[in-house]
Amino acid sequence: MGAVDVILALAKVFIMILPGYVLTKMNLINKQHTEGVSSIITHITYPCLVIMAMQMDFSWEILNNCKYVVLIFIGVVIIAMIISKLLTMIVKLPPEQTGIMAFMMVFGNTGFLGLPVLDGLFGKEAVFYGALCDSSFDVLMFSIGVTLIRQAAKGETKMSLGETMKGLINPCFIGSLLGLVLFICGIQIPEILSGPMDAVGSSTSPLAMIVVGSHLARIKFKDMFTTGPAYLVCLLKLLVAPAVALLLVKLIIGGGTLFGTVIIMEAAMPCAMLSVILSERYKADVQFATKGVMLTTILCMITIPIVAITLQYI
């Protein structure tokens, strides 16, 4: 049905990972280089990407749908935090990994991978809704999500209100808010600025893939498949997260809508590449994040078609 489209989209991901992997194995890229690239992504390219993604003509329908996306994913975030807290007690997950696990369970590769998959499975209208989800998603990722990563970096399971508010002051979140304000006010960025911003923003995915490939090269191959918590991330991200999204969609939107289907499919995407970038940016457990990203990206070739087919009968 759409399995070929899923595999092709994933193939593009792996191809873009190769340069970082090969150059690191050749000792042409080191940890300092990837830290520098991560800083460029979080301070420059991703804010540009988010702002340009929100350069759509204003409509109340789009704004209303944004409300549903935010409500549903806030629900997924809360449930993910509860599950991660329980797992910390049950499987004795280190505090340094708790926040990262919650982040990876919620935030997926909804843009670079999600949009091509939606196009292949459901067509152009689904891509429009997917872009809407992705834009709303970014606001949550760089507010609640950054707080989760910063908690993990500090080895804490909770942070003070002051620390949380401090975490909101980051370029990506500010870019998300600016893009939302421009959308609501119906302001279009002049071509002399939008052209360069679009070009800079489009470099986000390739740069992120290079960073992920570089970190992957520093992990022993056998360690990639022998880490229990990484498989736990796969279970939570690829199966539990879409199941939670399905429940919330049924409660908030109802069934039988393409928009609701898109939200569930976006929740079923593998872990966001930004989990690696942000983990490096805030000095968290980068290797744990890298393992989660790679394993979920591999296994989603099986789970995404299963989720898509299941939605046809619910």
Alpha-carbon gap, residue 13 to 10, rounded angstroms: 5
User: What pLDDT is stored for residue 209 in this prediction?
Assistant: 80
Alpha-carbon gap, residue 170 to 127, rounded angstroms: 28
Structural domains counted in the chain: 1
Single pTM value for the model: 0.74
CA distances, 35 to each of 40, 73, 219, 286 (Å): 9, 29, 17, 11
User: What pLDDT is stored for residue 226 in this prediction?
Assistant: 64
Which CATH number belongs to the domain containing residue 218 in this structure? 1.20.1530.20
The reply to whether 183 falls in a domain is yes
Closest CA to 216 of 275, 289, 152, 284: 289
Produce one character per residue of 44-80: b if its CB has 16 or more CB atoms within 10 Å, e if not.
bbbbbbbbbbbbbeeeeeeeebbebbeebbebbbebb
Would you say 104 and 289 are in contact if contact means Cβ atoms under 8 Å apart? yes
Would you say 104 and 83 are in contact if contact means Cβ atoms under 8 Å apart? no
Instruction: Give the residue numbers spanning the domain of 73.
Output: 3-24+31-308
Closest CA to 87 of 243, 232, 230, 223: 232
User: What pLDDT is stored for residue 272 in this prediction?
Assistant: 86
∠ at Cα 102 (305, 166), nearest 5°?
130
User: What pLDDT is stored for residue 276 in this prediction?
Assistant: 86
The reply to whether 216 falls in a domain is yes
The reply to whether 314 falls in a domain is no
User: What pLDDT is stored for residue 112 in this prediction?
Assistant: 66
User: What pLDDT is stored for residue 253 in this prediction?
Assistant: 84
Strand partners, 271: 108
Q: What is the pLDDT along the chain (314 residues), one digit of tens a residue?
A: 456 766 776 677 778 889 999 999 999 998 889 888 888 988 898 888 878 877 878 778 777 777 787 788 778 878 877 887 787 777 777 777 878 888 888 888 887 677 767 777 777 677 777 777 777 777 777 777 888 888 777 765 555 556 556 656 777 778 878 887 888 888 999 999 999 998 998 888 788 888 888 888 887 767 666 667 778 888 889 998 899 989 999 888 887 788 888 889 988 988 888 888 888 888 888 888 888 888 888 888 788 888 888 887 77
Closest CA to 108 of 311, 282, 263: 263
Alpha-carbon gap, residue 51 to 33, rounded angstroms: 26
Question: In residues, how long is the chain?
Answer: 314
Alpha-carbon gap, residue 215 to 224, rounded angstroms: 12
The reply to whether 100 falls in a domain is yes
Closest CA to 200 of 35, 54, 49, 56: 49
End-to-end alpha carbon distance in the chain: 17
Q: Give 116-156 as a 3 state SS string.
A: HHHHHHHCHHHHHHHHHHHHHHHHHHHHHHHHHHHHHHHCC
Backbone angles phi, psi at 116, to 5 degrees: -60, -35
User: What pLDDT is stored for residue 196 in this prediction?
Assistant: 94
The reply to whether 165 falls in a domain is yes
The reply to whether 313 falls in a domain is no
Would you say 234 and 299 are in contact if contact means Cβ atoms under 8 Å apart? yes
User: What pLDDT is stored for residue 293 in this prediction?
Assistant: 86
Would you say 149 and 284 are in contact if contact means Cβ atoms under 8 Å apart? yes
Backbone angles phi, psi at 271, to 5 degrees: -55, 145
